[in-house]
Chains A and B, each alone.
Chain A
Amino acid sequence: MDLAKLKQRGPFEWVLPATGRMRVPGVIFASRELIEGMDAKVREQVANVASLPGIVAASYAMPDAHWGYGFPIGGVAAFDADDGGVVSAGGVGFDISCGVRTLHTRLKLAEVEAQQARLADVLYACIPAGVGSTGGIHLDAAGMAAMLKGGARWAVQEGYGTEADLIHIEEFGCVAGADPAAVSEQARKRQRDEMGTLGSGNHYLEVQAVSEIFDAAAAKAYGLAVGDVVVSIHCGSRGLGHQIGTDFLREMVLAAPGAGIALPDRELACAPLKSALGQRYLGAMRAGINCALANRQILSHLARQAFAEVFPGARLSLLYDVSHNTCKEEMHTVDGRRRRLFVHRKGATRAFGPGHADLPHEYAKVGQPVLIGGSMGTASYILAGAAGTEERAFGSACHGAGRAMSRHEAMRRWHGRAVVDELAGRGILIRSPSSRGVAEEAPLAYKDVGAVVDASDRAGLARKVVRLSPLVCIKG
């Protein structure tokens, strides 16, 4: 991206002044190197988001921002219903509430290394992964409605996990205001066989070891020490969420002119928050969030069963669960005034700082765990929401590495078998049904996640706490 149109406000903060149709400025948090590496489409998409009705403060982009559709991936924008603000199906995307959760295994690296291959095989047998895979749970109409209303809370009531898990999930495992009646029959049908499935593409279940600690106090609060083994699960709301996105994108594109909204890009399809369509989407999208939370809860249950088979007596506790494709109703202070805002995070993680009322008490002093996935051969990170981050980007941070090259280019460059063998030589065991899928997710197809988390840390969005190194990766 050409820096000429940006004004640098700090070493990691760049402002795109409001011009033309922009109602607010754009703000990109990144190092010079990361910005220079971003596609010019990111700036264009940040500016487009800034033109939407009722946007508050600024259109933000996180350090991992890249060319998305409508919003940039890594985009954050908040809207005020009382100022004609909108909710955007494009701003949430197809994979509603895609996110990451991390469970602490209470096992140490040496114990897991001694059983690494067996653990990989048992996990691969237990976790439905890949295109066309189906789960073992098939919900009837009443069960589907209860799941869409209850999220992870429903899953725990059904026996998948414990009450203690719920404390360690955003919104305590169940987002309020879900409206199952707003979810189409097609969306329900797509979910019929997909409860408790991982999906494909960049979704994974990974066994990781804490390899470095950057913030001892926060690591202690999160219960992490060097050599501890954790499990991270990256997936979303499966077919149900994808179909909700499809249904409402179409409806919002067609309804926008009637609502007096001139879309700079059809993918920014949105509706006024104070409209029947906007409210219906909120109800459906929240049901999609609950579906994702229930799905990750069921996958956690399956991972616990796998660990118990390999390590009898193992007890996996949930460290935290974050969602990175959402629109959430939150209270924020803007120019000294408390306002109820609808915060869109598209490929961005909520990152509430120390003292926030919505955090579990053991994390209150250090801030919310922010779970950042890297590529399967490199590293993942756990960050902590920084003090003052609410004023910077409505309490948001990055979500991952972002692709460095297209899937097609990755497939052309690498063969899946060679990637698996090379990683095995470095002590990382990959299990996947698809050789091509592994090639497309090759480590070098992703950007350097370390640079992204460094920029998040230095921009004051989220502090680095620990680095996680992969041991086993189950890819869809």
Chain B
Amino acid sequence: MKRETEWETFAHEADVGVRGSGITLAEAFAGAAMAMMSAICDPARVAARDAVTVVCTAPNEEMLLVDWLNALVYEMATRHMLFSRFEVSIGDRHLLATAWGEPVDVAKHQPAAEVKGASFCELAVRQEADGRWTAQCVVDV
């Protein structure tokens, strides 16, 4: 039995691919965010303590995924935070989400690399034959 939200990274020669999947589009987006966090550090080391609200609007779902991941990159960079839990809702190409995390603690989190941005490389948002949603792209590290 597959879980509601699943995530993984996939190989790219220079950078890192991130992929989320879920029963809903929103769960797939949450999974993609978790995959991006896992490219930075082990999310299990990050306490879901402080909440940050993220809002995005885009002309299509693929652009919405890029915007969502880039909004998280921005929040991490300007708040000096890492995230480990996401709640996402999506309707009519509008995204409203809460990301939970805590300030970067290098000794505790052991972050390997910051993400510079989410790219359009390998970008795909699709509903699979089994009805589950997949959301993926390559992020530049």
Contacts and interface: CB of A to CB of B under 8 A. Distances in A.
A67 B41 CA distance: 24
Interface in A347-366: none
B80 A406 contact: no
Contacts of A253: 63, 120
Nearest to B103: A132
A267 B14 CA distance: 15
Contacts of A406: 11-13, 16
A132 B11 contact: no
Interface string A69-96: 1100100000000000000001001110
Interface in B73-108: 73-74, 77-78, 80, 82, 103-104, 106-107
A254 interface: yes
Interface residues of A, number: 54
A245 B13 contact: no
B32 to A, nearest CB: 16
A67 B13 contact: yes
B2 to A, nearest CB: 22
B41 A190 contact: no
Nearest to B13: A67
A69 B113 contact: no
Nearest to A70: B121
A67 B80 contact: no
Most-contacted residue by chain B among A132, A189, A440 (CB, 10 A): A132
Contacts of B78: 189-190, 192, 239
B29 to A, nearest CB: 17
Interface string A214-246: 000000000000000000000000010011011
Contacts of A450: none
B65 to A, nearest CB: 12
Most-contacted residue by chain B among A70, A190, A192, A242 (CB, 10 A): A242
Interface in B51-87: 59, 63, 66-67, 70, 73-74, 77-78, 80, 82
B116 A95 contact: yes
Nearest to A73: B14
A253 B70 CA distance: 15
A130 B111 contact: yes
Contacts of B41: 131, 436
A266 B116 contact: no
B140 interface: yes
Contacts of A130: 106, 111
B37 to A, nearest CB: 12
A193 B103 CA distance: 15
B120 A269 contact: yes
Contact of A249 (B15, B16, B120): B120
Contact of B110 (A94, A186, A265, A436): A436
B34 interface: no
B57 to A, nearest CB: 12
B106 A132 contact: yes
Interface in B2-28: 9, 11-16
A265 B104 contact: no
A242 B117 contact: yes
B11 A408 contact: yes
16 contacts: A39-B13, A69-B140, A94-B119, A130-B111, A131-B109, A131-B111, A132-B80, A132-B82, A132-B103, A186-B74, A192-B78, A254-B63, A266-B120, A267-B119, A433-B110, A434-B112
Given A242-B140, A440-B113, 10 more contacts: A68-B13, A69-B120, A70-B121, A132-B80, A190-B74, A199-B114, A201-B113, A435-B110, A437-B111, A437-B112
Which 7 pairs show the lowest CB-CB distances between chains A and B? A132-B104, A69-B121, A131-B111, A266-B120, A201-B113, A67-B13, A94-B116
